[in-house]
């Protein structure tokens, strides 16, 4: 018997933990949708689940795709006491979330509750694909897109928009936040509400350019890349 498990309110993890021993089976799901939101990209990169039971430790890993908030795996463990531990790593291999629990497993469809806790800052950018507006006065053409930056973790981080993007000569990238700070420079960001920013490109009207480019946000806990 298999069933969907949730690892706590903050997340739910999954790992396909096959073993040389048969035993009770279920499914573990790691789900950060409630924490990270819907239309986003983040520094989440990989997650691992280790299960220690019957003197054995089995570890399985999975990778988040761009904008993914969920991983799921089937697990099989030995009956008796088992310890489940979850680690979530960022794109620069920073530990973002950790959680563990120990309980007695007796049958298929067992329920495991783990609430991974953030151990540092977590960079989240929205939306995953910027929607640009264009203004052209006949001399200068400008593309601008509203975006949002949020720290979904437990500690402050630093972040900035990378100014290095593929663009023709004469095109300038700019970025400003709600407080008129230049976000091409590093700025601290504490956990809490999201910060509104405007990303844009400016150029002479004669330059042929559309902002179908990948934006990279650099942060102290890893880099985040939007989709063009």
Most distant pair of Cα atoms in the chain: their distance: 74
- Among 3.30.70, 1.10.3470, 2.70.220, 2.60.40, name the CATH number for the domain at 123-225: 2.60.40
Specify the residue for token string 């985040």: 224
Distance CA 119, CA 123 (A): 13
> What's the mean pLDDT in 207-214?
89
* Distance from the first to the final alpha carbon of the chain: 42
43 or 36, which is more confident: 43
How much is the pLDDT for 22? Answer: 61
Position 189 pLDDT exceeds 60: yes
Contact 72, 28 (CB under 8 A): yes
Position 54 pLDDT exceeds 60: yes
Closest listed residue to residue 149, CA positions, set 139, 140, 158, 141: 158
> What's the mean pLDDT in 55-72?
83
Supply the DSSP symbol for 153: S
- Among 3.40.630.30, 2.170.140.10, 2.60.40.730, 3.40.190.80, name the CATH number for the domain at 4-118: 2.60.40.730
Position 18 pLDDT exceeds 50: no
165 or 26, which is more confident: 165
> What's the mean pLDDT in 90-118?
86
Specify the residue for token string 């991974």: 116
Distance CA 45, CA 90 (A): 5
H-helix segments, 9-130 = 33-36
Say if 4-118 and 123-225 have the same CATH topology: yes
How much is the pLDDT for 28? Answer: 74
> What's the mean pLDDT in 36-64?
88
- State residue 35 phi and psi, 5-degree precision: -90, -40
Contact 15, 7 (CB under 8 A): no
Contact 7, 99 (CB under 8 A): yes
How much is the pLDDT for 172? Answer: 94
45 or 27, which is more confident: 45
3-state secondary structure of 149: strand
If pLDDT is split at 50, 70 and 90, which confidence band does 106 have? confident
Contact 1, 25 (CB under 8 A): yes
Quick one: tokens of 213?
């480019």
Domain extents in the chain: 4-118, 123-225
3-state secondary structure of 41: strand
């Amino acid at each position: 018997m298999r069933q969907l498990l949730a690892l706590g309110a903050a997340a739910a993890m999954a790992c396909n933990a096959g073993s040389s021993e048969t035993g009770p089976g279920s499914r573990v799901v790691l789900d950060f949708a409630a924490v990270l939101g819907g239309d986003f990209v983040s520094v989440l990169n990989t997650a691992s689940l280790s299960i220690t039971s019957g003197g054995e430790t089995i570890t399985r890993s999975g990778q988040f795709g761009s904008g993914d908030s969920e991983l799921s795996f089937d697990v099989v463990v030995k009956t008796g006491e088992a310890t489940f531990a979850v680690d979530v790593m960022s794109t620069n291999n920073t530990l973002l979330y950790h959680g563990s629990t120990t309980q007695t497993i007796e049958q298929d469809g067992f329920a495991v509750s783990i609430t991974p806790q953030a151990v540092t800052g977590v960079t989240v950018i929205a939306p995953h694909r910027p929607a640009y507006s264009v203004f052209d006065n006949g001399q200068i053409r400008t593309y601008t897109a509203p975006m949002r930056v949020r720290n979904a973790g437990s500690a402050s981080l630093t972040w900035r928009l990378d100014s290095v993007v593929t663009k023709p000569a004469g095109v300038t990238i700019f970025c400003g936040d709600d407080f008129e700070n230049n976000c091409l420079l590093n700025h601290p960001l504490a956990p809490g509400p999201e910060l509104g920013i405007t990303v844009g490109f400016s150029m002479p009207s004669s330059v042929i350019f559309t902002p179908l480019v990948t934006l990279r946000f650099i942060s102290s806990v890893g880099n985040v890349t939007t989709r063009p």
